Amino acid sequence: MEVSNHESAPESVANTNVANIWWIPLIAILALVLSVIAIVLTRNALEGQAVLADGQSTLRSELAQSRTIPPSPAPLVESPKLQPKPNPALRLVREPIEINSELLQAEMERVVLDLQNRFPKLPDALHVAAMMKAQTRQYSEARKLWEECTRLAPKQEIYCVNLASTAMEIGDNEFAIVALNRGAALGFDSFDFLHHMAIALSKLGRYDEALTAIQKSMLKSKNDSSNWILLGQVQLEQGKPSEAETSFRRAMELGAATPSVYVGLGNACARQGKRDEATKNLKIYSELMSRDKLSGQVRYQVLSEKEIRRTASTVFTEAATVYFRQKDNMQTERLLMRCVALAPKDMSGLRALADLYFKTKMLAEERVVRERILDLGSLDFRDCVDLAKVCAQLQDSSSAEASLKLAMTLNPSAIEPYATLAQFHLQSGELDKARWFAQQAIEMQPTAEGFRFLATICQKQNDELGASQALKFAQQLEKE
């Protein structure tokens, strides 16, 4: 059998024949193949959906978590037992629906109320309600809900942080400290938690304590520029302009280029008599601020049309996550479909819906959504790989191959499309192609798993020498 003549393929492998003993490592190789697929399939489609604006923390989506941890290993082509529905029971909205902001807000309220009624003692459900209340400036309600969350799930740091954030929004910094101290007693010490503690303390002018919190948070993440800005602000208020200047400059080194860092640095320089340096930085601050026009809607305390759509999408996605976790797939689908209707071109909403269909094995529907994602011009090669997978499962090998080639085009340096294509061709019996793609993948990232996979192909090609050499490389890499 001819071997690939790829110039950079390991010579000893490329020019060696192997004995016909392919069945020996079969089981192990299959496991490796599956793990490669698992890597490919790893994605976090709902990432970002759970992020609440303005520093509100996040609710980790069950859907997102299920995608973060690779799903059960499965070959690209499902077993013949799986007979997907040929026609998808799905039509996607293509253009954003027209909806009055007030109606949308009322719909959000209904969704949240339903959620609360169904799961009155479920912290996740109350958390979604609290997020919606905070976003729509019903802070008292939000505060009550997060208080209840902290009561029901005291060890969930996110509830404690959100409770403190809401208290600060109301102007009750003292209570924010009480809530955070409660969390500290429970052992919360994440960067986010300590950063909030430092903010709350500095708002109360308790600078020494704020500094302690900042120092602790620095231990968690010394390269977070926001922490250095906060430190600079505290130092400036403590009358230490020189130290403040150092902190602001460090924040800049870490990439901070916000108005707050320039105004802080400008003021720190001015107080040291460095007038030129102060003027230079304050001028930059001024230019940045002149681009940041005060939103009229912010002034009214009313969410703009855009903001309310974004908030509704977040709330619906979060609510969907709760329903999914509670195994109510119908509600999950309904809410995610609503998200798509509100923002038909929003990739994260579509990915969440696709992931739902993946989890519920609604392959035809999953394919519709994933094709829509690519039609919208996604440049994320993982979207291509996901579409390839579902096409393969639907036994549409040409579409699967096309998607994987697109993935390679979008990200030629990513190993996943090559590895997946190799595996795909292996399963369809196109061994030369499988070998070529496997060698490409190994060239990019030589791994023991990759060489074992290559060995499998070689064995199928009756290239015993190639398989032997590949296994030798695999063992060598494992030892290293």
Asked if residues 52 and 58 have their Cβ atoms less than 8 Å apart, the reply is yes
Q: What distance in Å separates the CA atoms of residue 404 and residue 416, rounded to the nearest whole number?
A: 9
Q: How far apart are CA 76 and CA 37, in angstroms?
A: 8
Strands, E assignment, 320-385: none
Q: Which of 84, 72, 64, 78 is nearest to 368 (CA)?
A: 84
∠ CA 326-330-335, rounded to 5°: 90
208 scored as a contact of other proteins (CB under 8 A):
no
Q: What secondary structure letter does DSSP report for 16?
A: -
Q: In sequence order, which residues have a C-beta less than 8 Å from that of residue 79 and are 6 or more positions away?
A: none
What does the alpha-carbon distance between residue 442 and residue 4 come to, in Å, rounded to a whole number?
13
- Of 90 and 178, which CB lies nearer to other proteins in the complex structure? 178
Torsion over CA: 280, 285, 288, 294 (sign)? negative
Per-residue binder mask for other proteins (CB under 8 A), 88-127, x = binder: --------------x-------------------------
Check binding of 293 to other proteins (CB under 8 A): yes
Chain-centroid distance, C-alpha 272: 43
CB atoms inside a 10 Å sphere around CB 207: 19
Of the pair 267, 317, the CB lying nearest other proteins is at: 267
Check residue 173 for interaction with other proteins (CB under 8 A): yes
**Between residues 139 and 191, which has the closer beta carbon with respect to other proteins?**
139
Give the Cα separation of 72 and 351 in Å (integer).
Answer: 19
Convert 45-81 to b/e letters by CB count within 10 Å (16 or more is b). bbbbbbebeebbbbbebbbbebbeebeeeebbbbeee
Does residue 478 belong to the site contacting other proteins (CB under 8 A)? no
Taking CB under 8 A as the binding criterion, the range among 186-194, 216-224, 282-290, 416-424 that sits at the site for other proteins is 282-290
Q: Does 263 bind other proteins (CB under 8 A)?
A: yes
Residue 296 found at the interface with other proteins (CB under 8 A)? yes
125 vs 263, which CB is nearer to other proteins?
263
Contact 36, 453 (CB under 8 A): yes
CB of 206 to other proteins, least distance (A): 9
Nearer to other proteins, 162 or 378 (CB): 162
> Judged by CB under 8 A, which of 169, 189, 307, 328 binds other proteins?
169
Contact flags string 384-423 toward other proteins, x per CB under 8 A: ----------------------------------------
Least distance CB 219 / other proteins (angstroms): 24
Which of residues 130 and 414 has its CB atom nearest to other proteins in the complex? Answer: 130
Neighbours of 12 (CB within 10 A): 14
With CB under 8 A as the rule, give the number of residues binding other proteins: 44
Q: Which 301-340 residues touch other proteins, going by CB under 8 A?
A: 301-302
Least CB distance to other proteins at residue 140 (A): 5
**Strand, coil or helix: what is 51?**
strand
Q: Strand pairing partners for 51?
A: 58
Q: Which residue of 188, 193, 248, 285 would you call a contact of other proteins, by CB under 8 A?
A: 285
Closest of 309, 356, 304, 351 to residue 334, by C-alpha: 356
- The whole-angstrom separation of Cα 378 and Cα 372 is 9
Judged by CB under 8 A, the stretch of 80-88, 196-204, 308-316, 370-378 that binds other proteins is 196-204
What end-to-end distance do the CA atoms of the chain give, in Å?
31
Kindly state whether residue 77 participates in binding other proteins, applying the rule CB under 8 A. Answer: no
CB 149 within 8 A of CB 117: no
Shortest distance in whole angstroms from residue 171 CB to other proteins:
4
DSSP symbol at 95: S
- CA distance linking residue 101 with residue 390, whole number of Å: 37
Of the candidate residues 61, 150, 202, 440, the single one contacting other proteins (CB under 8 A): 202
Q: How far is the CB of 264 from other proteins (least distance, A)?
A: 7
Question: CA-based angle 133:136:142, to the nearest 5?
Answer: 20
Tokens in use for 56? 């509100």
| Per-residue binder mask for other proteins (CB under 8 A), 210-249, x = binder | -----------------------x--xx------------
Question: Stretches 171-179, 325-333, 337-345, 461-469: which one binds other proteins (CB under 8 A)?
Answer: 171-179
Q: DSSP letter for 461, please.
A: T
168 makes contact with other proteins (CB under 8 A): yes
In the complex with other proteins, the residue whose CB is nearer, 110 or 275, is 275
Among 137, 155, 222, 361, binds other proteins (CB under 8 A): 137
Q: Kindly state whether residue 154 participates in binding other proteins, applying the rule CB under 8 A.
A: no
Q: Which stretch binds other proteins (CB under 8 A): 184-192, 298-306, 333-341, 368-376?
A: 298-306
| Binding footprint of other proteins on the chain (CB under 8 A) | 102, 137-141, 168-173, 202-205, 207, 233, 236-237, 258-260, 262-264, 266-267, 270-271, 275, 278-279, 282, 285-286, 289, 293-294, 296, 299-302
